[in-house]
Amino acid sequence: MKKILNGRVVENIEIADKVYRLVVNAPEAVRDYVPGRFVNVYLKDKSLLLPRPVSISETNGENMALIYGVVGKGTSEIAQYDMGDRIRISTPLGNGYQIGSLLQKMKRDHAMQDGAKAGVIGLVGGGIGVPPLLGLAKAIRKMQREAADDDKSNLEFRNLKTVAVLGFQREPFLEEELKEYCDEVLIATDEGNFGFHGNVLDLIGQNQIHADGYFACGPKPMLKALSTYCRERQIPVQISMEERMGCGYGACVGCVCKTQEKTDEGIAVAAKKVCKDGPVFYGDEVIW
Ligand code: FES
């Protein structure tokens, strides 16, 4: 059930060109956190009616980090918030990544059937889609640690390797933070000024990354290309869809995407709300 909460700004700093990290103290919102979920930030300027959806990058204690790009009036207002300012957010919004579900598919479909072979998870992010992967990488690492402490736990968690493949136009961010939780972090830039010159799929090919499953977040062309790549290889991929949003909780039908699902009768096509039914879907569910 959606709630509107008051939080306090702990930090709001520019971490790359026009990309800000806003840390908000909001214990109740932190309790609702699942990697891949987002919050709506309500603006103080009442002429800007709609709240701005911002993905949650990670949580720490009672704080959550929201990373956003300054792209218009609303996000320009958010960039002005100072430490101690009050901020109104709604939570919990969206369905996040389902780590267990992807792992089950990897186990069923791929190389991990004996439970002892190391599986590889790819985290693929593009631009402002990179931040939610940090919280996701942390959650996967935590599961690995818990599995390592527990003899009876599934072996596949203990043997997982996590590779992040990140694409930026020009200026990378969160690379160091992701290195703490991933076995490998690879960077591509469109302009070639940093890391690999090209896109994330070319980088995956160049480094011969044979992941058994992927999680992704980023611009639609990247998600579409990765979904096609995964479909051709029968690799499961969960993608977090980027879509323009209005209400953020399923009321305005402003964020619909077409999906398909196999049923006993054939293929069922549906219109799903990215904010409420997603933003995370399996890549082969989405009709592009
Ligand atoms: Fe209103 Fe999704 S933004 S239904």
Atom of ligand 1 nearest to the CA of 276: 2
Q: Is the CB of 247 under 6 A from ligand 1?
A: yes
The confidence band for 113, taking pLDDT boundaries of 50, 70 and 90, is very low
Q: How far is the centre of ligand 1, averaged over its atoms, from the C-alpha of 275 (Å)?
A: 6
Any domain includes 201: yes
Q: Is the CB of 245 under 6 A from ligand 1?
A: yes
- Which ranges in 11-162 belong to alpha helices (H)? 27-31, 73-79, 99-109, 131-149, 155-158
Q: Is the CB of 243 under 6 A from ligand 1?
A: no
**Residue 55 belongs to domain with CATH number:** 2.40.30.10
The confidence band for 146, taking pLDDT boundaries of 50, 70 and 90, is confident
State the total domains in the chain.
2
Any domain includes 199: yes
Q: How far is the centre of ligand 1, averaged over its atoms, from the C-alpha of 278 (Å)?
A: 11
Q: pLDDT, tens digit, for every residue of 68-79?
A: 999 999 999 999
**Domain span holding position 110:** 99-242
Per-residue burial over 105-125, b if 16 or more Cβ lie within 10 Å, else e, is bbbeebebeeeeeebbbbbbb
Q: Give the Cβ contact number of residue 93 at 10 Å.
A: 27
This model of the complex carries an ipTM of 0.98
**Residue 213 belongs to domain with CATH number:** 3.40.50.80
| Cα Rg, the chain, nearest whole Å | 19
Q: What rounded mean pLDDT belongs to the chain? A: 92
- pLDDT for 94: 94
What is the percentage of the chain residues whose pLDDT exceeds 90? 78
Q: CA 236: distance to chain centroid? A: 16
Nearest to 121 by CA among 172, 168, 156: 156
**38-50: average pLDDT:** 91
C-beta separation of 162 from 137 below 8 A: yes
Question: Does 198 lie in the same domain as 116?
Answer: yes
Cα separation, 180 vs 188, whole angstroms? 19
**Checking DSSP bridges between strand 184-189 and strand 196-197, what pairing results, if any?**
parallel
Q: How far is the centre of ligand 1, averaged over its atoms, from the C-alpha of 158 (Å)?
A: 38
